[in-house]
Structures are given as structure tokens and as C-alpha cells.
Chains A and B, each alone.
Chain A
Amino acid sequence: MTGIPGALGAIVGADHVLAGDAAAAVLVDGRAPRWVVAPGSAEEVARCLALASARGLAVAPAGGGTRRHWGNPPRALDVVLSLRRLDRVLAHERADLTISVEAGVTLGAIARQLGPVRQFLALDPPRAAGSTVGGIIATAASGPYRARYGTIRDLLLGVTVVLADGRLAKAGGRVVKNVTGYDMPKLHVGALGTLGVIVAAHLRLHARPAEEASWRVGFGSAEAALEAALGIMDAPVVVSRLQFVGDATLGVTVGSVPEGVRAQGSRITEICGRGGGTPVPLAEPEAWWTAVAEGTWPPAPGSLTLRIGTRPSDVVKALRGVEAAAGGTVSVRATAEIANGVLHATLGDPGLRTAALVGRVREGLAPLSATCVVEHAPAAAKPGLDVWGDVGAALEVMRRLKAELDPQATLNPGRYVGGI
């Protein structure tokens, strides 16, 4: 190979560069890259990016591929930069409850390593096992556990990124408390890799509770389920998950010492009982929760998947707004992390009417000041869609930030908010 693929091969080894049809198989929103490159170290990532920026190539970083189509379609795409070979756990400081990993390490691999010592990385986004740490940082994907443990924003202690021009920059550290300079790791959380390619991270871990129990609680209506959820939030119980599922069901998880699980379970039973719900213990909680997660992701090819941020007490109103916008012609399935005010709505294939439908949903949500991000839409509909929605006046600041850190728009051009 000569030219650009030759140069990339010289950095990462020819075996780790795909071109032609093999590269074209790795689509990003229907767009094929010219090359797929898999560096084996942070330094190789740095050299690849230095080359890409020198040659004016557009680069899309890639992790486990579980959320590859998030964002707007790329404005340009030359290189998919796979982080999968950066898959080493660098250090697990068991007594510190921290772990340091390369970006391509999957949550599944971390769970396997930590399981025997009863520690865990408290993130449970859909398809967690195959999701990489770098991808989770870039997408800020989360799951029901955020009710108790927060999101990657709260668990990320430090990060090393390769900037667009190939310079390595580290930020934060591996201690749990740190105000040394700006909190730069936060800038990469949810940034879809547009400010730098994440190559390593230090993460905060939690100890597994001695016991964890989950219940399913059916109610007569979504409103009754919400009322019970708000009652649980207002009670002095600590829930690990508090999930609205389907039409009128709550899923609840409590983790504690056995006595604590029993005592809090009784309290939750009492609160739910007031709304006519009876908690049923889940015999196989992991399977149930996996099914809940996979109800939203991965999406069916033609479906529209929305992530709506609202106040917890407005979750059902937001859902009703989505249903009204869909107008009965398109099916709506929903689940929500109620305590966090995050509603996931999956709409059956709206086809070419997608953009209009999303517009109606956003209009309907405006009185709630709710946010609405399109996580998935039918490929044909995406070019006419603003997947992120209005960012407000802060967009100007975001544009300047992108211009400072990636002036040539090497990283994921066009895919982020406002076409950043």
C-alpha cells in the first residue's frame, strides 16, 4: 500500500488497516469510510491523528459499535479510527475503588474482572457488555443505575485524549477528589469524540451491596405509577433503579445489607400499595433488566428512538406529548429513569414523516422545557433531521470551543450539535 494507507500502515502495521470493500462495510450513518485503522497504542493513535490532520482527512473514532449511528450523518468521512485494540486494563486499585483502563476496554470485560472481588463500575446502559469505556464517555450513555450511582460524568476521574492534531493531553487524575486546573474530563463526556479521541480513563468504582433485590409493580395507569415513583423518591429509601416500564409498570431495585433490603422493600410496598400497586419480586432480575434495556436499544431499523430530558414529575406528561404528536398512527413504547427525568420513547416506523414528527414532539415538549435528542432514526430520514435539537445561546460558545480544539474539524465533522 502506498500514499495514505501506506503511511497509516507504517504506523499501525499493514494488518490493521482496512481499505476498499472491507472498509466500506463499516458504515457510519450510511456513509462508508475510505479506510478503517486500528492503532495498538495511544502513541499510534496520536501518530494517526497527526497524519490525518496534516492531510486534511475526516476521522470518526469508533469503540464497540453499539451507538455508531448517534449524531448527525458525518459531513465528511475518510478514516474510521477503531479503538478496539486499546483493550488493556492498566490498573485496578482494589483498595482505592478505582480502575484505570484503555478506551477500548468493554464494560463486559471490566465486569468480569471486578466480579470476583465484589466491585463494579456502576453503569448499565443498553448493550453494556459490548460498549467500550471510550464510547460510553463519548456518548454519556447511561441506564437505570443512574438513579443511585449517577452517570459516567460522576464516575470519570481522569482521561487521556489525543487532540485533533495528534498531541496527547491528559486531564484529571486517579484520585477521587481533584480541583487541579479546569475539569477538562467533563468536556469529553457526551462530546461524541468531537474534541479529542479518548485513549484512556481513570474511573471510580463501587462495592457491590451485600444483597440486591428487584421488584416489578403494576399500576392501573401511568399516572398512578408516576405518583408512586415520586413517593419513593420522597421517602428516605435509597433505590438503585426506579424505572418506568411500558404502560403502567415500575421496576425498582434496592441494594443494601440483607436487613436494609427487607426494611426498604416493606417501605416501597407500602408506598406502592397506596396507589394500588403490589410489588412482585423478580426471580431473574438481570434478565428482566436486560429486557428493559433492550426495549430501547438497539433499535429496529425503521424505528425512531428519542431520549427526552424533563423534570421527574413531568415524565408522564412528556410521554403523553409524544403520543399526541404520533397521533395514533405510529406505536409508542416507553421507559424512563424517573428519578432522573430521562424518558426513552421508541416509535414504530414513521418513514419519511420522521422530521415532521420530531418537530411536533419538540413543539409539544416546549412548555415543559424538556430536551429531545434523536438517538436513532430511519437512515433515509436523517439528512433532513436535527437529531440534537435546540442548544440555545450556549451553541456559540460550543462552536468556539470546537474551533479552538479542532480548528480543521478533523474529528467527526458535522455530527454534533449545530453541525459542529
Chain B
Amino acid sequence: MTIDRHLIDALREIAGRDAVITAADECLVYECDMLVYYKGAPDVVVLPGSAAQVQAVVRACLDAGVPIVPRGSGTGLIGGAMAPRGGVMIGVNRMDRVLEIDVQNRYAVVEPGVVNLWLTRAVEARGYFFAPDPSSQMVSSIGGNAATNAGGPHALKYGSTVNHVLGVEVVTGRGELTWLGGPVPERPGYDLTGVMVGSEGTLGVITKVAVKLTRAGETVKTALATFDSIEVASEAVSAIIAEGIVPAALEALDEPIIRAVEAGVKAGYPADAKAVLLIELDGPAAEVEVQAEAVARICRARGALTLRIARDDTERALLWKGRKEAAGAVGRFTHNYVLQDAVVPRSKLPAIMAQVQAIAAARGLTVANVFHAGDGNLHPLICYDERIPGQFESALAASDAILDACIAVGGTVTGEHGVGMDKAKKLALLFNEDDLAAMAAVRRVFDPKGLLNPDKVFPSHAACFEATAPGRGARPVPEGMWV
């Protein structure tokens, strides 16, 4: 779209000349998140330095009727932080100060551009951490984590980002700058924080976040168990949960992933294993000791071939490095892939893993899996080669079939990545018109003009963008992405 000169002048006035990017080639950097099928460069990128500047930018855009797209570090996987209609993107990366840390009362207040891992680094010497740990945590911003309600391996025990956000300061789609919630508990009134978190920038631009800090456990033990197949490994996962043990993390990786990881990171996964489980227990030492024995017993009873426990922090860190960089290593064995993020009730894991394999095989495709098994949160990567005609379409069809299968057993459309443009049409698999109308009512409360991150989340907007996707000649999901 064409942006009025007066608006650009106003944005420069608000944020400073060096904080406003208008050159088309520079705006191109912001045309997609890490799901690169969905492309849409903003016409202008503004990098404000304060909440007041964000408010002024939003107000100027609202007055001009121009779409506003908030963006953190751009590590999303959903076609979220990109501008299908053009307009003004607000990058929050310059708002990167930790404003308050109160370890005694277990909270911190940060600006949205603070990188997830920085906060843990700032409090770990005191024995605390920021629990949400998306695999992108060394890069992704806390504002972005909040906007997408990011998960991560340790969401199993500690919950997703929403369980750790005490309040947010936001600029709404009416230009109001207001705190919702805050560090002090038991605030009267609707839990607007709860609905703002995970709203993917469609209800407001987050300008500050108050988050919980979590006391680190006395001990942590990380075990690696190997199995004959991902289905057998999944049975062990279901058995562990059914026994009432909720590890800090319980991750699964299958053969293609293991090989790719070992070829690159060399995490110490047995290269001939067909599947591994990465099982982390944390908490009081005496409890972890007993639970580790129980987990080992369950794994062996369920067919584990080997099980070893990391001897020290270095080995433990390496096991995790393999997991966190697993998806980025996939480029070693496939030209392209489609990534799915679905959830099933965890007792359904073994059955669904068999179905995932069958669905891919029926289309002559291979599938690789690296996922949050304890939560029942699958991330099948359906491999294809775009140079082979029809394969991309087959891969998409397989991905859709997997999602349908998950929903059929009581699962959901997305567990932690979010909706964005990618899954806007899929909401209807789960929600009927009345369910969605209630969400749309919430949208109107915060953004009556529909200018905040348009075309994301809601199915009604998705259809018109089919023509722009998929793009060709690029990996649908780039190397160095995290799931």
C-alpha cells in the first residue's frame, strides 16, 4: 500500500529519523517470520524506544487507517510477524531493558524486546530462572513469547508463557496505553492479561511485561533413553505420565533427526538409535533420585534399549543442544519440509505416532519427528523435494491429514506455535461459528478498526492470501529455525 508522506514524517517525529525504515530493500528483511511461505513486507518499519512512542505510532497509524504489525525477533513459525497488507511494522527490539527484578517476590518487569534467555542469565546466580523456554530462547523476545504464548520443552512441568505472565502494558487498537494485570496478585476484574497473551498482536502491542521468576530446583537429572521405534518410545512416555510422574521435560526425537543431530551438533545420541527420549527431572534431590529410578524402570519395562544419565552439566548441556537445534539440522537430510504443531491427549501418543508414519508413507513421503512428547505436542516434519512435481502438495496434504487425525482423538490445532496466517482456516476444525463469534467480539473490544496485525488468527481473513503461498525456490522453513 502507499503510505502517506505525512504519516512517515509523523513517525520520524515520534521515534527519530534513524528509527524509521522506509527503503524497500531494507523493509524486505521484515517480510516473513521463520515460516517463509508467507511473505509480505511492511512499507515502513518503526523501531520505537519507549511505550509512549509505541502509543504515538499506533495512534498515527489508526488515524491514517494503516495496518500495524508488531514484531519481536521474528522467530515465529506461523506467518505471524509479517505484513500481508503492507503498512507499518513496529519492531520492539530497541525496547530491551530489564526494568525491575525482585527475586524475593519472584517477579521481573521487562520491556518486550528483552531476549528470553537474558532474563534467566540475570537471575540464575540467585537460583532463579524464567521458565518459558522455547527452543528459540537465545534469540526470541519476551514480548514475542507473550504475544504467541510460547511453549517449550519445560512447559510440561512449568506451563506455557501465559502461566508466567503477571501483567502486560499494552497499546490497544484504540490507541490506549494501559496496564492489564501486574506484579501484585488478586486484581479485581476480567483477566485481560490472559486473553492478551497468545493473541498474536491482534489485540494490542505489548510494551512491558511483568513475569514470574521461578526458583530453580535443588537438583536436575537428564536421562537419554533409546528405543526401537518412535511408537515404542511414545508408549514409554504415556506410561510415565500415567504413573503420575511429570518430568520437567520429556522430549522425543526419531531416527532421521538423531542422525542429523549427530552429523552436526554431536550431542552424544547413539547414531544407530531409532528413537530417543530426553527425560529431565528436577526438584528436591531425594525426590529426583527416586523418580529417576521409576522412570528408568518404566522405560526398561516399555522396551528401552539403553538408558544413561548425563554425568555433569557439560554432558547435560550437550544433550539439550542436540534437542534445541534439531529442527535446524533437518536440512541435512531433506531439501524441504512442512512442519506441523498439533497436540493430542498424551495417552493417544502411541496410536497417533503410528498414524503419522502411515499418513506420510501412503503419500510416498518420509516424516521426521522431534517433539514435546510429555505434553502430547507433536512436531512432525514432513519431508519433500520441491523439484519433484506434486511433492509439495502431497506434503501439505499429509500435514493436513495428520492434523485431522489429531483432532479426531480429542486434540487441538496448535499447541505452542500459534495460528498466524498459516492456521487461520484451521480454527474451524475445532470451533463453530458461535465459538469464533465470541473471539471476534473480543477482537472488536481491543481493535475495532481491525488494523492490528490483520489477516492473522481469524479464518474469515485467510482465504484471500492463498495466492501468495506457497512461495517457490526457498525452503518453507529455513535452516536455523527452532521448534
Contact = CB atoms under 8 A, between A and B. Distances in A.
Interface stretch (A17-25, A179-187, A283-291, A377-385): A179-187
B149 A183 contact: yes
A186 B418 contact: no
Contacts of B457: 181-182
Interface in A301-349: 307-313, 340-342
B397 interface: no
Interface string B159-181: 11011000000001000101110
Interface string A388-405: 110111111110110011
B228 interface: no
A97 B417 CA distance: 23
Contact of A168 (B192, B215, B416, B434): B434
B140 to A, nearest CB: 15
Interface residues of B, number: 91
B104 interface: yes
Contact of A257 (B216, B287, B410): B287
A48 to B, nearest CB: 17
| Residue of B148, B182, B218, B423 with most partner-chain A CB within 10 A | B218
A15 interface: no
Nearest to B287: A260
A184 B185 contact: no
B186 A234 contact: no
A208 interface: yes
Contacts of A309: 184-187
Interface stretch (A6-14, A34-42, A216-224, A368-376): A368-376
Contacts of B191: 153, 186-187, 189-191
A253 B288 CA distance: 18
B322 to A, nearest CB: 22
B188 A388 contact: yes
Interface in B444-467: 444-446, 457
A80 B372 CA distance: 45
Nearest to B407: A173
A207 interface: yes
B315 interface: no
A8 B414 CA distance: 40
B412 A388 contact: no
A269 interface: no
Interface in B420-444: 423, 427, 430-431, 434-439, 441-442, 444
Contacts of A113: none
A312 B104 contact: yes
B64 interface: no
A182 B442 contact: yes
A298 B377 CA distance: 42
B346 A259 contact: no
Interface stretch (B89-97, B241-249, B359-367, B388-396): B241-249
B176 A395 contact: no
Contacts of B178: 392-394, 397
B376 interface: yes
| Residue of B103, B160, B187, B438 with most partner-chain A CB within 10 A | B438
B104 A313 contact: yes
A317 to B, nearest CB: 13
A236 B186 contact: no
Contacts of B193: 186
A93 to B, nearest CB: 6
Interface in A116-174: 118-119, 150, 153-154, 163, 167-171, 173-174
A398 B172 CA distance: 13
Interface residues of A, number: 81
A296 interface: no
Contacts of A311: 102, 105, 183-184
A420 B74 CA distance: 39
A180 B430 CA distance: 9
A199 to B, nearest CB: 13
A401 B190 contact: yes
B375 interface: yes
A264 B284 contact: yes
A183 B289 CA distance: 37
Contacts of B473: none
Nearest to A91: B410
B187 to A, nearest CB: 5
B286 A262 contact: yes
B66 to A, nearest CB: 23
B199 interface: yes
A128 to B, nearest CB: 19
A311 B108 CA distance: 12
A404 B445 contact: yes
A394 B155 contact: no
A54 interface: no
A237 interface: yes
A177 B160 CA distance: 8
B150 to A, nearest CB: 9
Interface in A72-115: 93-98
Given A191-B190, A259-B289, A259-B290, A177 B376 contact: yes
Interface in A225-276: 230, 233-234, 236-238, 256-257, 259-260, 262-264
Nearest to A210: B290
A180 B289 CA distance: 37
Nearest to A167: B434
A174 B287 CA distance: 29
B298 to A, nearest CB: 13
Nearest to B107: A311
Contacts of B172: 397
A174 B412 CA distance: 8
Contact of A394 (B180, B287, B419): B180
Contacts of A206: 244, 246
B23 to A, nearest CB: 35
A186 B194 contact: yes
Interface in B54-99: none
A50 interface: no
Contacts of B179: 392-394
B194 A175 contact: no
B241 A95 contact: yes
A401 B191 CA distance: 11
| Residue of A170, A176, A207, A236 with most partner-chain B CB within 10 A | A176
A292 interface: no
A95 B242 contact: yes
B217 interface: yes
A401 B419 contact: no
22 contacts: A93-B347, A95-B347, A97-B244, A150-B163, A173-B430, A175-B343, A179-B419, A182-B199, A182-B203, A184-B438, A186-B191, A187-B191, A234-B215, A257-B290, A259-B287, A263-B284, A309-B185, A311-B102, A311-B184, A342-B185, A369-B182, A401-B192
Given A307-B186, A313-B104, 7 more contacts: A95-B346, A118-B244, A150-B159, A175-B411, A175-B415, A180-B413, A369-B184
Interface of A: 93-98, 118-119, 150, 153-154, 163, 167-171, 173-184, 186-187, 189-191, 195, 206-208, 230, 233-234, 236-238, 256-257, 259-260, 262-264, 307-313, 340-342, 369-371, 373, 388-389, 391-398, 400-401, 404-405, 416-417
5 nearest CB pairs, A to B: A207-B244, A186-B194, A309-B186, A260-B287, A236-B218
